[in-house]
C-alpha cells in the first residue's frame, strides 16, 4: 500500500470514528436499552449497535471490497485484491457509556495482510482523537490543535503509574484482582479507566507508564496497539503470541514505556499473570 493510500485510509477512519462518536454523544438516550453478552456484567446497548451499523455503512460506501470485523456483528469477509480488514469497536468502554462517564471510545483499526497499520481512537467525552499510521508517528487532536505524542520516559517501576482492566467473568476477575493487589505496593499506583483502547492511548501519550490486561479481543487492541508503537511504547503479549491472533483473549497484553518494558513484564510474571 502506498503512502498516499495510507493517508487516505487514515483520514477516512478518522472521519468515520468522529462521526460515530458525535452520533453517540448527541443521540444518547436518557435510558438506554441493554442486553447482556458473555456474563450479566458484559452489556451491549442499542447505541453500540447503532454506531456499528453507521460505521459499517460508511466503510461499505467508501471501500466496498474491504473486510470488516466488529464487536457487535462479527466478521464480514472482504472481496478486494488487497487484504484490507477494518477492526471496529463501536463503543469501547460500554459500561462507562451506560453510566454517563466520559471514558469510552470509538476504536477503528485497519489491517493489511493481517498486519495492523492504522489506528484511530476517538474519545468524544474528552474531545480528543488519537491516531497513527505505521511510520507516521502518533498524534492527539483536541480543540483544533494537533500534537505528536510519546510514551513516558519512566525508568523505575516503583514510581510508575500502571493501568489495568478486569475480564467480565467473575473467576478471571478474582484472579486478576489478587495479582493486582500483589503488584500494588511495588508500583506508584493503579488506574482502571474501563476502556482498553483508551488505556493504550494513555500509554502512548505518557498519561500512564504501562497497561496490562487479559481477555482483550482484537477490536479492543488493534487501533491502540498501532498508536502505542508509533509513540515509542512497547506493546505485546506476555506469551509472545501475535496481537492479531484468534487466541488473543487468553493472553496478557502489556503496553509500556520502553524504559520499564523488562521490569513490568518481570513483575507480571512474578505476580502470576504469566
Q: Does 168 bind ligand LIP (CB under 6 A)?
A: yes
Rank residues 124 and 167 by Cβ distance to ligand LIP and give the closer one: 167
Give me the residue whose beta carbon is nearest to ligand LIP.
165
Helix axes 196-204, 218-230, angle to 10 degrees: 10
- The kind and range of the H/E element at 169 are none
Q: Does 70 bind ligand LIP (CB under 6 A)?
A: no
Rank residues 28 and 155 by Cβ distance to ligand LIP and give the closer one: 28
- The kind and range of the H/E element at 149 are none
* CB of 249 vs ligand LIP, minimal distance in Å: 9
What residues numbered 184-223 form the site for ligand LIP, per CB under 6 A? Answer: 194-196, 213, 215, 220
Strand arrangement, sheet containing 115-123 = 74-76, 67-70, 84-92, 105-112, 115-123, 128-133, 138-142, 145-148
For residue 34, the cross-strand partners are 45
Q: Does 21 bind ligand LIP (CB under 6 A)?
A: no
* CB of 259 vs ligand LIP, minimal distance in Å: 25
What residues numbered 71-100 form the site for ligand LIP, per CB under 6 A? Answer: 71, 89, 92-94
Q: How many residues bind ligand LIP (CB under 6 A)?
A: 15
* CB of 256 vs ligand LIP, minimal distance in Å: 17
Rank residues 76 and 95 by Cβ distance to ligand LIP and give the closer one: 95
Q: Retrieve residue 148's grid coordinates.
A: 505528536
* CB of 7 vs ligand LIP, minimal distance in Å: 28
* CB of 195 vs ligand LIP, minimal distance in Å: 5
Q: Does 165 bind ligand LIP (CB under 6 A)?
A: yes
- The kind and range of the H/E element at 54 are helix 46-62
Q: Where are the beta strands (DSSP E) in the chain?
A: 34-36, 43-45, 67-70, 74-76, 84-92, 105-112, 115-123, 128-133, 138-142, 145-148, 161-164, 189-191, 210-214, 234-237, 252-256
Q: List residues binding ligand LIP (CB under 6 A).
A: 71, 89, 92-94, 165-168, 194-196, 213, 215, 220
Amino acid at each position: 500500500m502506498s503512502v498516499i493510500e495510507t493517508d487516505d485510509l487514515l483520514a477516512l477512519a478518522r472521519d468515520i470514528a468522529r462521526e460515530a462518536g458525535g452520533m453517540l454523544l448527541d443521540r444518547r438516550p436518557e435510558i438506554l436499552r441493554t442486553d447482556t453478552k458473555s456474563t450479566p456484567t458484559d452489556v451491549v446497548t442499542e447505541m453500540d449497535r447503532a454506531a456499528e451499523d453507521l460505521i459499517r455503512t460508511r466503510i461499505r460506501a467508501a471501500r466496498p471490497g474491504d473486510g470488516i470485523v466488529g464487536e457487535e456483528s462479527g466478521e464480514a469477509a472482504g472481496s478486494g485484491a488487497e487484504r484490507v480488514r477494518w477492526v471496529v469497536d463501536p463503543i469501547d468502554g460500554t459500561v462507562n457509556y451506560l453510566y454517563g462517564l466520559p471514558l469510552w471510545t470509538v476504536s477503528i483499526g485497519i489491517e493489511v495482510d493481517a498486519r495492523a497499520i492504522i489506528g484511530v481512537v476517538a474519545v468524544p467525552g474528552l474531545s480528543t482523537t488519537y491516531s497513527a499510521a505505521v511510520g507516521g508517528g502518533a498524534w492527539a487532536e483536541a480543540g483544533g490543535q494537533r500534537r505528536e505524542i510519546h510514551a513516558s520516559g519512566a525508568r523505575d517501576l516503583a514510581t510508575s503509574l500502571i493501568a489495568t482492566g478486569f475480564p467480565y467473568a467473575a473467576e478471571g476477575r478474582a484472579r486478576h484482582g489478587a495479582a493486582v493487589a500483589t503488584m500494588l505496593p511495588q508500583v506508584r499506583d493503579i488506574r482502571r479507566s474501563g476502556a482498553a483502547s483508551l488505556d493504550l492511548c494513555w500509554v502512548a501519550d505518557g498519561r500512564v507508564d504501562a497497561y496490562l490486561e487479559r481477555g482483550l479481543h482484537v477490536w479492543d487492541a488493534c487501533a491502540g496497539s498501532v498508536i502505542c508503537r508509533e509513540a515509542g511504547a512497547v506493546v505485546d503479549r506476555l506469551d509472545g503470541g501475535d496481537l492479531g491472533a484468534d487466541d488473543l483473549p487468553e493472553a496478557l497484553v502489556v503496553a509500556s514505556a520502553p524504559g520499564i518494558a523488562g521490569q513490568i513484564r518481570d513483575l507480571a510474571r512474578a505476580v502470576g499473570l504469566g
